[in-house]
Structure 1
């Protein structure tokens, strides 16, 4: 498992969000699957709850996940990446 680099200029919450986004892209966390809770993320990465909360918030803002109140946070459907502006058709 990749580790968090506390010496990196990238904030820890963004590093965590990037790692979870990689899991989503790879299919390890499929669409509509619940992601680990904030408590689970704090244990997995050894960070404060607020850091885990910020990582989930960042994922939500980037469109990777959506939250259902009282139910949890789930992987969102994302359109395929289009590098180079490729067009369908």
Structure 2
């Protein structure tokens, strides 16, 4: 399933919602919506924007952190990682 930067979460799709969100965020980063070392929207903003649970947002962010796309600064937010 191909996911683009402007897609919505499709709860009926075979791809889990957290994976859809991770793909959407990664596509937005590739498109240049957020520059390296700049914060992405907060968890609360993503929950509201996509109509999904906070746990789903956290899981998507954790996936992108594991993939080296994002990094988290405690009590500050989640940021786009610089390409190595």
TM range (shorter): 0.7 to 0.9
- Alignment partner of 2:72: what SS? strand
Structure with higher Rg: it is 1
- Alignment partner of 1:78: what SS? coil
TM-score, normalised by the number of residues in structure 1: 0.83
Give 1:29's match in structure 2, choosing from 15, 34, 48.
34
Matched with 1:10 is: 15
Q: CA deviation at 1:44?
A: 0.6
Q: CA deviation at 1:78?
A: 2.0
Moved over 6 A (4+): none
TM-score, normalised by the number of residues in structure 2: 0.88
Matched with 1:20 is: 25
Instruction: Tell me how far apart the structure 1 counterparts of residues 27 and 34 of structure 2 sit (CA, whole Å).
Output: 9
Deviations 1:18-64 (A, max 9, x none): 00000111111111110111111100100011011111111101111
Unaligned runs of 5+ in 2: 1-5
| Residues 1:59 and 2:75 aligned together | no
Unaligned runs of 5+ in 1: 80-89
Count, aligned residues: 79
What's the C-alpha RMSD, in Å, of the aligned pairs? 1.0
